[in-house]
Structure 1
């Protein structure tokens, strides 16, 4: 329930603070006084688009703040919303705030925590339903009519189950379409793919092959230079008289010959002997490598041809390594395998689509059954409500016909209406007058609010096109809605409706030094009499109008 509404610097409002109460309340005021401004402010809390023009001239920003009491509804859904979004849950003081800066940018808060506009909209739609005149156009929308039937049917879980199954079906259908497209494309390219497969397969490529061949090619290309360097190194180390190895061995022998008389020579000899062993080992290894380095023209030609083939394939397939060529071959093999097995894959996917379609049909049938039963209830309840609203010969039918599977099921819902016994029933939006549509919408809202337990409902001039006895009946309906643990607010120009409210607010416009300002005040009992009398007779309030006003308030 909406406990308090605080509006600051919003269009013509400086500061408006309203305390609101359970039951049925009314808001009156002359045309242009600012009643729609209040609705616009509440709309911001429901996620409506913000506009810099909404900020009062000369102010930096406007603030719309609403305080709700959620404790009286004991809603696990609302509590779950706060827990899922990591928001503080304070059921007795739930605060929604929207701030709009003069540059048009806005911020949203729930219990002083910044939130996205989408999150505020999601919560706001569970707390307030604003019915404005343009919503009467919803009666021409098939999805609105279907939604009404679903609400009365209480098929939320069944609809969620169906939508999950339908999402799976659409996904499977999408995969089937993709598979068919892939198969068609692959078959168009089959000859080319098989040519590529043959070319890569016949190359018999192996991992690491390119690096090994390139290294061997480089070695053969410099074989003479390598052999010359190794030969000169071998001569320097192992030459008969001047070779380093023989000289080192001779020096070691001389040092050891004087070791007895010069002990330090022994240590030097041992150190040099270690060098002799290493030099001798290096000399032997160089000698052996000289035999390994040979230039084989035939082998060199084979290596060159093999590398040319690899380079050609890399260029043709736009890759850099043999590994990538092998990956390409594997991909081609997979594509050709899909082509070879495409009929089987296609059949499996078609069977999956058929299976999921059957599941959807089954779940849609459950929805259809619930909707047809709900349609009967809507017809009966709406007829009961519309007869006292001045349509004694009303005929109303909820036509539930079969449709193709969609996200909402396999049903098409249409509201058929006739206000006279002599005319055939036709779609309500085509044959009902503005006043009749308003009465139909009020009746539907009464049914919906009872079914889903909307905490707060605001009617913005739902009484358009009606008067007299019909207005009294509309007031009774809204009063009964308020009495059923609901909060109902109605902006009205009709005294019959204004008199039925438990609480009465008046919107007025005043001229000040700072400009035009709208205000909203809660009326006392005496003020209500005067206000309703003015609504009955105009600005010149007669005693008869006052008496009539008192009579209306006594009802």
Structure 2
């Protein structure tokens, strides 16, 4: 509400201070009494064009000050002021001051803060609506309908905008969810088949490398088996080389005291037996590691062939098959949960 209007050096008015009470105020007078000057002065304060013709003759500048009730918290006007760093304390009036010089320059202030004419018009348009004989009425201007509706609903400010944005986001998400659901439903049969196939096969990360290494080792074992058996036979049995060395060491031990050279020979023979025993152990270990099992080799080759074939079918690396299974299971679960998701979005 307009509380007061102070005019200085506007056309014929040297100084005028008006106080307005609540309710209807009527200013009457004959033609030419100056009623329109009051409206022109108020329009200047509300951001109308600063016409130097308003300056009273013989003065350097004209000035108008209008005082209004502070806007309600959360109102569109309060938001406009806040967006422009103009804060009004509770109970404080909103004071607009506008001056125009005789040379045409003008300045504007809102609560003693300088402001542009554009901001002044934006604020003034929310404070007062002037109806004239040839003026459009703001209530029939579509540009103001949204503000009137928000004001009537008591939701001026960001509340409606936030709600609208949330609605649009949910609407977009719902439409996307429906598209995803329709697309997923088309893929359900493929997903179910692929998940069942991969789950039955049970691929493991790193399995290809392990199978390839074991296969290569077993194939080496097949090639080396004959040579290893021939070498190990030289150590085995009562007539084997190691058994002969041990028998010779026992016989030499009985006569070693008879001559120093025999003792030296026994010591050398003992070292040979130790080295030969270590060699035998390593040969046995190698034979165990390179053991050839035709059935195991066949199973490995089949598994490796199927693993690589499955990877080619799904266009991934063999090591990625387990990840693919998890991904497809997730998509399949999403199809089942899609209805619940859409219910929430709706």
TM-score range, shorter chain: 0.3 to 0.5
Q: Specify the structure having the higher radius of gyration (Cα).
A: 2
Name whichever structure is richer in strand by fraction: 1
TM-score (norm 2): 0.47
